[in-house]
Structure 1
Amino acid sequence: MRHKALLLVPAALATTLLFTGCGATAESEVQANGNPASYGDCEVTGTKGEYSLETLTKNTLLMKADLPSPAWYNGDTVEDIRSGFDFCLLVNIAHRAGIDNVKLQMASFDGLVAGKSGDMDLSLNQITITDERKKVMDFSDPYFQSTAGVLVKTGADVTEDNLADSTIGIKQGTVGQILVTDTLKPTTAPSVFPGDPEQQAAVAAGTIDAGIQDLSIVLGAASKSGGKLEVVGQIETDEAYGIMMAKGSPNLGTINKILADLKADGTLDKLSAAYLADAYGVDPASIPVWHLK
């Protein structure tokens, strides 16, 4: 549940990952399933090259994001990423566009949504579509619906009734930041963190009582915490994730067509089952829905 940037930061951070697969012509760089090496562990569906995208570099799809992200871009570091919902969605887009090389570059989230992260082909990073963001960037049709989740230290006394009186952490530039400051309006000003790991670490350390971020993201964090963190509530936001591109991108219509195909043939459902349900270890529908007062 990401939101408009409130602070601009340097365009792209130093960490860069290039999966350098050269397609089926270099056998040593192709996995056993016949996919280019840059496709990681993802299964591809549909017809290769059915569509065409205009990319900055021929036969390479450059994607910038705030990485990694449990269940969405799996790995302890950017270099480790070989699977995840968003990563494998990216891979399937590349496959259907006949592109063999997927290149990931690290960038700050608030810089991305402000259009300040430099040239890229797209960003696929659990980015909520908002009217504010659409003023500076183009968005695809939605590919995933989202709610906000309340992440706490396991056993913490944080409830729907006392949330506003708790110390809360939010990630800079996210919808959660606006949700907390404009709607919840907590008694104590929220702590603002540059990234998900910092917010989650503060919750685990007890520096803050709760962290509010996309339900999918905090469920992933709780699942990886070894029982130290839990998600105690979710807040409906009527939000959806979209694929973000530069304003006026010639690829918007084609990306929407590919997404429509991926929905129709069940690929998106398969990605959700493979990477989200198993990663969370809990049915998201079982998390109580809280209503902000």
Structure 2
Amino acid sequence: MKKFLAMTMALAMVLSLAACGGNGGSSSKGSASSAGTSASAGTSASASTSEPAVLPTIEAGKLIMSTNASFPPYEMTDDSGKIIGIDAEIAEAIAGKLGLELVIDDMDFDAALLAAQQGKSDIVMAGVTVNEDRLLVMDFSDSYATGVQVVIVKEGSDVTMDNLGEKMIGAQRGTTGYIYASDTPENGGYGEDHVIAYDNGATAVQALKNGQVDCVIIDNAPAQEYVKANPGLAILDGEWVTEDYAIGVAKGNTALVEAVNGALAELTADGTVQAILDKYITAD
């Protein structure tokens, strides 16, 4: 972690936050019901106590969210194909506060970011964090959750936090984990020669099982899910990087950012956001 101290301090100065996501690139749409059962977490469209605001959204009366539904527990699909998870439920609660119908578009991670940048979606939520490059092309809400990136290894592996630069690392393409790890050693990374990009976390974990990489850098919440589903894998002790998640919006759409922040503040104050987090992330 000493290798990343300078990097984390720099990120904190520009609104440090962390990201992950990405799936096979298929696209599907869902209505507010696709966001899961937010009513069980105390959230629903009926919770709105104000008149529906006239907001600069792509479609009147709708809040279109681009995401990547292979980043459990933040976004994933259930057995019926509906998109559920922390981001989906928080987005549904925000839409309810704003008097809008939530529509979720599932795509790969890079495409989800680009959709928000280009105004093809109103917001992007996919475990997205703020970095300098993203700040140039998108605006962001306040943070709504903290993500910790960890390192997955095979049980009995000789990989440690201190020798990652000597190993082959798998990471999801486009995520901050990949960006940080593939950066130059002078900037706290390990260099591109030590990192292999994969389309999603599941593929990276499969590569680890197959011996194609020595470890995988990914956020703790999905890491826990992957380790549970794959006997023989473990998570190294310690945090690789800690960052915060935020909601991405097209650059210059100040009215929507302010509206989202207002709804998010209410949902945080009344305990809804924490209830959703607690529903999906339980204490060890």
TM tier, smaller: 0.7 to 0.9
Structure 2 residue 212 is matched with structure 1 residue 200? no
Match of 1:240 in 2: 244
- Structure 1: which amino acid aligns with 2:134? R
The normalised TM-score by structure 1 is 0.76
- Structure 2: which amino acid aligns with 1:167? M
Kindly state the Cα deviation for residue 38 of structure 1 after the two structures are TM-superposed.
Answer: 4.6
- Structure 2: which amino acid aligns with 1:258? A
1:149–1:234: 8 Å Cα contact kept in structure 2? yes
CA 1:194/1:118 → structure 2, altered by over 3 Å: closer, same or farther? farther
Structure 1: 5+ residue runs without aligned partners? 4-11, 20-35, 284-293
Kindly state the Cα deviation for residue 270 of structure 1 after the two structures are TM-superposed.
Answer: 0.9
Match of 1:145 in 2: 146
Match of 2:28 in 1: 16
SS in 2 for 1:126: coil
Structure 2: 5+ residue runs without aligned partners? 1-17
Kindly state the Cα deviation for residue 162 of structure 1 after the two structures are TM-superposed.
Answer: 2.7
1:83-113 deviation line (CA, Å, top 9, x unaligned): 31111101111111122x3222122222343
1:159–1:232: 8 Å Cα contact kept in structure 2? yes
The more displaced of 246-255 and 79-88 is: 79-88
Match of 1:106 in 2: 106
Kindly state the Cα deviation for residue 207 of structure 1 after the two structures are TM-superposed.
Answer: 1.5
2:34–2:82: 8 Å Cα contact kept in structure 1? no
Q: How does 1:229-268 map to 2 (within 5 A)?
A: 229-249=233-253, 250-268=255-273
Work out the CA distance in 2 between the residues paired with 1:145 and 1:60. 27
1:165–1:186: 8 Å Cα contact kept in structure 2? no
- Structure 2: which amino acid aligns with 1:235? E
Work out the CA distance in 1 between the residues paired with 2:224 and 2:76. 14
Match of 2:76 in 1: 74
- Structure 1: which amino acid aligns with 2:89? C
Work out the CA distance in 1 between the residues paired with 2:155 and 2:78. 23
Kindly state the Cα deviation for residue 120 of structure 1 after the two structures are TM-superposed.
Answer: 0.6
SS in 2 for 1:135: helix
Work out the CA distance in 1 between the residues paired with 2:48 and 2:211. 49
- Structure 2: which amino acid aligns with 1:105? D
Kindly state the Cα deviation for residue 228 of structure 1 after the two structures are TM-superposed.
Answer: 3.8
- Structure 1: which amino acid aligns with 2:29? L
Work out the CA distance in 1 between the residues paired with 2:117 and 2:128. 15
CA 1:63/1:232 → structure 2, altered by over 3 Å: closer, same or farther? same
Match of 1:2 in 2: 19
- Structure 2: which amino acid aligns with 1:67? A
CA 1:14/1:178 → structure 2, altered by over 3 Å: closer, same or farther? closer
1:150–1:211: 8 Å Cα contact kept in structure 2? yes
1:68–1:81: 8 Å Cα contact kept in structure 2? no
CA 1:113/1:187 → structure 2, altered by over 3 Å: closer, same or farther? closer
2:165–2:194: 8 Å Cα contact kept in structure 1? no
Structure 2 residue 227 is matched with structure 1 residue 222? yes
Kindly state the Cα deviation for residue 39 of structure 1 after the two structures are TM-superposed.
Answer: 4.9
Bigger relative CO (Cα 8 Å, ≥ 6 apart): 2
The more displaced of 156-165 and 194-203 is: 156-165
The normalised TM-score by structure 2 is 0.78
The more displaced of 133-142 and 102-111 is: 102-111
Match of 1:159 in 2: 160
Match of 1:45 in 2: 43
Q: How does 1:249-288 map to 2 (within 5 A)?
A: 249=253, 250-277=255-282, 283=284
Kindly state the Cα deviation for residue 76 of structure 1 after the two structures are TM-superposed.
Answer: 5.5
Structure 2 residue 127 is matched with structure 1 residue 122? no
2:117–2:250: 8 Å Cα contact kept in structure 1? no
